[in-house]
Amino acid sequence: MAFALSPSALFSFLGSRVSSLTLNIIEAPTRHGDSPSKDLLGALLREQQATAVERFSRWHETEDCAPANEHLYRELIPLSLPGPGEQYAFEVDLDSCSGCKGCVVACHNQNGLEPDEVWRSVGLLHGGSSALPVIQHVTTACHHCLEPACLEGCPVDAYEKDPVTGIVRHLDDQCFGCQYCILKCPYDVPKYSHSKGIVRKCDMCHQRLAVGEAPACVQACPNHAIRIRVVNLQETADTAEANLFLPGAPEPRYTLPTTVYKTKKPLPANLLPADYFAAAPQSAHWPLVLMLIFTQMSVGAFVIEQLLADGLLFALGASPDFNATTRAVHLPAAFVLGMTGLAASVFHLGRPWLAYRAILGWRKSWISREALAFGAFAGLASLYAALPLSPFGLDLPDLWERRLGLAVSVSGIAGVACSVMVYASTRRPCWGGGYTGLKFGLSCVLLGIPVALLIEMAAAAWSQDAAQNDAVRQSVSRLCGWLVFASLVKLSAEGAVFAWLRSRQMTPFKRTALLLAGELAPTTMKRFLLGTMGGVVLPGVLWSYASSPFDPLSAMLAVVLILLTLLAGEILERQLFFTASVAPKMPGAPAG
């Protein structure tokens, strides 16, 4: 290092040093016959060589002068990469965790998280007896599972599992913010960043590990309760099969988490999370509510049109007369309903301009398959809806037109089936495939029938054809009966969840029932009131009047009221579908 000194300063400095050294030489006896001038020169050379860098180097060469924090990056992380059949994993010593949340703060600061964004949290387990109570703190983050559900469900391939370290990383640039991984992960690990419009998660500070430095949470823990270790994949899978993970945590056989929780103390059998008996409403996901309702309404309308046009409902008493005038209104209306639902789904994305990426994960993600199915439905429905409109000049033979209509219905049903699997694949009990499929399918029926009736009535009133009015009256009589039946079935299925209130165990179904009967009770009452009025009372009244000649305009207004009432009730039902489904999570972690 070079210093720029003025001549006066240089002479002053050398003068003071020479005076000091001369005084020491005069006071000290001469050794080995050395002259005072030689001792002065040697002292100056030795002082010049004694730099801070040299002192630091010599200090590290001595075994007894190791840095005070060397254990943070030597003892708490592996010194070599995992071998074949191995990967990195967190190891948590429950006996050492004091719940100080130093790991939470360190993770937050290291990764620049938002105020409400948490990648590592500290929960609390309690149990034992009144004579010997047990309280146990638990620090938890991403478990970097062997079969990560977030990676499996992502429609844009925004997750990757490192083939060497096993770390599950989120690719921020690839993510378009659908938040489906939040629903898929049973441990509530991925967190949504509102400012960035994407999901983010713990990546085990892989950049620090790559250079031999411990992750922030590991380095910050004052009790060394967290460390990184290498685990055997087969042993991890066997441990998950035996359900030996952590009391109060979700069942590990789903994703095979790799985090190791160890303790030398026997844990009581009744050890439960401190918030075990609490149930909080989840996000309503309003864009998804509208998407599901309007797409199912559209599919139901197309299917009812097919059944009426082909006369397949004639055996059930419906009118076989579904003429060209009616279809010219019905098909475009059904198409607009479907496009409204698909357009609403885009607003659920944090980065809606990247919606085209939704099909990238079609091999593994049900969201990608849903996007493909509804994409085919939209394309076929647009062509089918244009057929009755003469200005477009589209004219197909009757056979091909019927085949096109059948293709629209099949693709729409496939889209609804994919919607069912989107939620069933999360493995939340209240979103089971059978129960969700029943509700989604009946929504198609409940909303499709009034749409078909309304348009058929409007066409009959416009034509003022007595024969067509009589045919419409027959359709009203029969279809209202089926509407009442479908409504009763759906309302009964939704109400069956309240039977879990009598259960002594705090199951997911009981948590849902407690929410519906407690914090969400006003919405629940409105939903059942609207469902009963629009699906049972009003169709029943219209059904009774349809047995004799009636005013088509009055009947059409009644069907409009039925449709609006049912639509409002179904929207509330779908809101409760999201808000009342309690999400699984780690002990103490805030559910998203």
Residue 493 sits in a domain whose CATH number is 1.20.1630
**C-beta atoms surrounding 506 within 10 Å:** 15
The answer to whether the beta carbons of residues 91 and 78 sit under 8 Å apart is no
Question: Which of these three, 273, 301, 323, is where a domain ends?
Answer: 273
- Check whether residue 445 and residue 547 sit in a common domain: yes
**C-beta atoms surrounding 64 within 10 Å:** 4
User: How many whole angstroms separate alpha carbon 195 and alpha carbon 197?
Assistant: 6
Looking at per-residue pLDDT, the higher value among 396 and 446 belongs to 446
CATH number for the domain including 178?
3.30.70.20
What per-residue confidence (pLDDT) applies to 317? Answer: 42
For 325-347, the pLDDT digits (tens) are 677 778 888 999 999 999 999 99
User: How many whole angstroms separate alpha carbon 547 and alpha carbon 545?
Assistant: 5
Which residues span the domain enclosing 386? 286-579
Is 587 within the bounds of a domain? no
Give the pair of three-digit tokens for residue 511. Answer: 């948590």
Residues 6+ apart with CB under 8 A from 166: 82, 86, 87, 88, 89, 144, 146, 233, 258
Helix runs in 464-537, H state only: 466-495, 508-517, 521-532
Identity of residue 553: L
User: How many whole angstroms separate alpha carbon 365 and alpha carbon 315?
Assistant: 40
Is 116 within the bounds of a domain? yes
- Check whether residue 232 and residue 294 sit in a common domain: no
Look up the pTM and report it.
0.83
For 240-255, the pLDDT digits (tens) are 888 888 888 999 999 9
Lowest mean pLDDT among 218-232, 337-351, 467-481: 467-481
Is 279 within the bounds of a domain? no
What per-residue confidence (pLDDT) applies to 57? Answer: 55
Average pLDDT score over residue span 156-172? 96
Give the pair of three-digit tokens for residue 325. Answer: 């005038």
For 535-570, the pLDDT digits (tens) are 999 998 888 776 666 676 777 888 899 999 999 999
Find the Cα–Cα–Cα–Cα dihedral 205, 206, 207, 213, rounded to 10°: 70
Residue 93 three-state SS? strand
Give the pair of three-digit tokens for residue 545. Answer: 């009047």
Please count the CA atoms within 13 angstroms of the CA of 119 that sit on its side-chain side. 27
The count of domains in the chain is 2
Lowest mean pLDDT among 1-5, 77-81, 89-93, 460-464: 1-5
The answer to whether the beta carbons of residues 126 and 248 sit under 8 Å apart is no
Is 107 within the bounds of a domain? yes
- Check whether residue 300 and residue 356 sit in a common domain: yes
Percent of the chain with pLDDT over 90: 57
Is 236 within the bounds of a domain? yes
DSSP, residue by residue, 333-384:
HHHHHHHHHHHHHHTT-SSGGGGGGGGTTTTT-HHHHHHHHHHHHHHHHHHH
Q: Which residue bears the tokens 């419009």?
A: 197
Is 407 within the bounds of a domain? yes
- Check whether residue 492 and residue 460 sit in a common domain: yes
Residues 6+ apart with CB under 8 A from 212: 73, 77, 79
Q: How far is CA 148 from CA 163, 164, 186, in A?
A: 13, 16, 10
For 487-540, the pLDDT digits (tens) are 999 999 999 999 999 998 899 999 999 999 999 999 999 999 999 999 999 998
The answer to whether the beta carbons of residues 331 and 388 sit under 8 Å apart is yes
Lowest mean pLDDT among 7-11, 95-99, 120-124: 7-11
Per-residue DSSP letter, 212: T
Please count the CA atoms within 13 angstroms of the CA of 161 that sit on its side-chain side. 19
Alpha-carbon Rg for the chain, nearest whole angstrom, is 36
Looking at per-residue pLDDT, the higher value among 130 and 579 belongs to 579
User: How many whole angstroms separate alpha carbon 383 and alpha carbon 371?
Assistant: 19
Pairing of strands 86-93, 260-262: parallel
Give the pair of three-digit tokens for residue 318. Answer: 């419906």
The answer to whether the beta carbons of residues 179 and 193 sit under 8 Å apart is no
What per-residue confidence (pLDDT) applies to 327? Answer: 74
Give the pair of three-digit tokens for residue 554. Answer: 């009055």
Identity of residue 44: L
Is 475 within the bounds of a domain? yes
Is 52 within the bounds of a domain? no
- Check whether residue 411 and residue 352 sit in a common domain: yes
Give the pair of three-digit tokens for residue 341. Answer: 């639902």
Q: How far is CA 82 from CA 143, 262, 361, 457, in A?
A: 16, 21, 29, 71
- Check whether residue 398 and residue 503 sit in a common domain: yes
- Check whether residue 242 and residue 293 sit in a common domain: no
Q: How many residues does the chain have?
A: 592
For 104-118, the pLDDT digits (tens) are 999 999 999 998 899
Looking at per-residue pLDDT, the higher value among 399 and 483 belongs to 483
Lowest mean pLDDT among 50-54, 441-445, 519-523: 50-54
- Check whether residue 299 and residue 448 sit in a common domain: yes
Judged against a pLDDT cut of 90, whether residue 405 lies above it is answered with no
Query: Would you call 537 exposed, middle or buried from its count of C-beta atoms within 10 A (0-12, 13-18, 19+)?
Result: middle
- Check whether residue 537 and residue 425 sit in a common domain: yes
For 24-36, the pLDDT digits (tens) are 444 444 444 555 5
Question: Which of these three, 252, 273, 294, is where a domain ends?
Answer: 273
Please provide residue 131's backbone torsions phi and psi, each rounded to the nearest 5 degrees. -80, -30
What per-residue confidence (pLDDT) applies to 547? Answer: 66
Residue 442 three-state SS? helix
Judged against a pLDDT cut of 90, whether residue 414 lies above it is answered with yes
For 268-325, the pLDDT digits (tens) are 888 899 888 888 899 999 999 999 999 999 999 999 888 876 554 444 444 444 556 6
What per-residue confidence (pLDDT) applies to 364? Answer: 94
- Check whether residue 299 and residue 233 sit in a common domain: no
- Check whether residue 260 and residue 315 sit in a common domain: no
Please provide residue 195's backbone torsions phi and psi, each rounded to the nearest 5 degrees. -70, -30
Of 492, 474, 468, 479, whose CA–CA distance to 562 is shortest?
479
What per-residue confidence (pLDDT) applies to 392? Answer: 52
Question: Which of these three, 251, 273, 295, is where a domain ends?
Answer: 273
- Check whether residue 314 and residue 407 sit in a common domain: yes
Average pLDDT score over residue span 199-228? 92
Residues 6+ apart with CB under 8 A from 74: none
Give the pair of three-digit tokens for residue 471. Answer: 């045919």
User: How many whole angstroms separate alpha carbon 22 and alpha carbon 35?
Assistant: 12
Looking at per-residue pLDDT, the higher value among 428 and 46 belongs to 428
